[in-house]
């Protein structure tokens, strides 16, 4: 019992020290400050676009009863679209923050010759590596919590209140964002463990960052996808012959009309081939994305930030409403949609593959860091 208490005390002592070293370091304060300022600017821009979209949607609803194009009315915007802007900045600045916090965790101890002194105290090696990771995790959680708190405060300042489903999605967004930042923190920690100095660890980490965040996404472009999935099926000549191009001389616009589309089996065969082709491309892109934390995060954040809007199409006929008030001369909408408007289970089911892949990266790199540190020669 006494051994467990002593081990726990050593772990917490290391974690406590690392946490305060992180939040008091200039590099953490500088990068986090830049990230916070840009995130706030992005939030304000996203809120302005959200209010514009909401006004457009409200105007369409008010004229829907007299319009013959009711079926083409825009979808009701969701607060989650605002967080899509935050996600674009997290992809770069969040990764840089994680790298900055992890690339010298071990190498700085080697360079200052303090690692041998540290291990000479009554503290186990696993307590050192686990404590350093725990301190880094706590600092990352604090940084991300501050960003999300200020983001929510910004929404409230503009008179926008997320509903229950949107609050759940915001929490999921925060958890996924933490996983993404922690992924690059764990990669930097591993490089710090195997490198002889901090400069080498930073270079190796940045190379991996460029490969995972730029090279792999580039491989998913049209040229590479055409090479992997092949060319799209060509439309048969008999279908091309069915297409009649009609030119309106008055407006100089071109319209394409199709005759007997449903009666020709060739159309169904062509459509089936096209669906199979694009499904194949989607599978290849999905596989490629599993090897890139950046692509995984992009897919997950896109699914989360657009899910609420997609699932609120049914509100057109449900009779749900939103009330509008005026705050300092600005028209702001307070959302009154119900929690059930957003299919939380459906959203989570759609992100499971990418979420699992995003979990595997930090788990693998931290396991490698742990194994390397436990075998490290500190003489």
Question: In a structure prediction context, what are the per-residue pLDDT tens digits for the chain, which is 379 residues long?
Answer: 444 455 567 788 888 888 998 888 888 888 888 888 888 888 888 888 888 888 887 877 777 655 554 444 456 777 888 888 788 888 888 899 899 989 988 888 888 777 767 766 667 888 888 998 999 999 999 988 998 898 888 888 888 888 888 888 888 899 999 999 999 999 999 999 999 889 999 999 999 999 888 887 777 666 666 677 777 777 776 666 666 543 344 444 444 444 445 556 777 777 888 888 888 777 777 777 777 888 889 888 888 887 655 444 443 334 444 333 333 333 343 443 443 456 777 788 878 888 888 899 899 999 999 999 888 876 6
What is the pTM (predicted TM-score) of this model? Answer: 0.74
CA distance 301 to 351: 9
Which DSSP category does 377 fall into?
A: -
CA distance 290 to 360: 10
Q: Residue 217's CB: how many other CB atoms inside 10 A?
A: 16
Give bridge partners of residue 64 from the DSSP assignment.
Answer: none
**Six-digit token pair at 63?**
């004229």
Judge whether 292 and 211 are in contact, CB under 8 Å.
no
Helices (H), the chain: 2-24, 26-63, 80-89, 95-102, 107-111, 114-120, 125-157, 164-194, 198-210, 216-219, 222-229, 237-242, 265-290, 293-310, 315-318, 344-374
**What is the distance between the terminal CA atoms of the chain, rounded to a whole angstrom?**
32
CA distance 163 to 141: 24
């Amino acid at each position: 019992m006494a051994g467990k208490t002593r081990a726990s005390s050593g772990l917490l002592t290391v974690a406590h020290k690392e946490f305060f070293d992180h939040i008091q370091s200039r590099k953490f304060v500088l990068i986090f400050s830049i990230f916070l300022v840009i995130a706030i600017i992005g939030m304000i821009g996203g809120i302005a676009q959200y209010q514009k979209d909401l006004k457009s949607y409200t105007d369409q609803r008010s004229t829907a009863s007299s319009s013959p194009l009711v079926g083409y009315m825009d979808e009701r915007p969701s607060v989650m679209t605002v967080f899509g802007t935050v996600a674009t900045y997290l992809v770069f600045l969040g990764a840089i923050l994680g790298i900055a916090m992890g690339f010298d965790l071990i190498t700085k101890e080697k360079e200052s010759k303090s690692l041998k002194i540290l291990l000479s105290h009554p503290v186990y090696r696993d307590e050192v590596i686990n404590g350093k990771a725990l301190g880094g995790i706590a600092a990352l959680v604090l940084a991300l919590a501050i960003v999300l708190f200020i983001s929510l405060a910004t929404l409230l300042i503009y008179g926008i209140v997320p509903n229950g489903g949107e609050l759940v999605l915001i929490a999921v967004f925060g958890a996924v964002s933490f996983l993404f930042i922690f992924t690059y923190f764990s990669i930097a920690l591993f490089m710090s463990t195997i490198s002889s100095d901090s400069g080498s660890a930073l270079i190796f980490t940045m190379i991996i960052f460029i490969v995972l965040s730029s090279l792999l996404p580039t491989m998913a472009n049209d040229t590479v996808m055409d090479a992997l999935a092949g060319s799209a099926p060509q439309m048969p000549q008999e279908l091309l012959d069915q297409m009649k191009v009609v030119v309106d001389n008055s407006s100089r616009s071109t319209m394409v009309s199709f005759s007997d589309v449903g009666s020709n089996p060739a159309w169904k065969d062509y459509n089936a081939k096209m669906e199979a082709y694009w499904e194949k491309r989607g599978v290849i892109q999905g596989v490629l994305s599993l090897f890139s934390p950046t692509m995984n995060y992009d897919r997950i954040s896109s699914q989360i930030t657009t899910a609420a809007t997609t699932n609120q199409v049914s509100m057109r006929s449900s009779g749900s409403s939103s009330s509008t008030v005026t705050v300092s001369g600005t028209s702001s909408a307070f959302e009154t949609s119900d929690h059930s408007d957003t299919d939380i289970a459906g959203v989570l089911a759609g992100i499971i593959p990418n979420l699992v892949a995003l979990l595997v990266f930090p788990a693998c790199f931290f396991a490698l860091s742990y194994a390397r540190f436990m075998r490290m020669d500190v003489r």
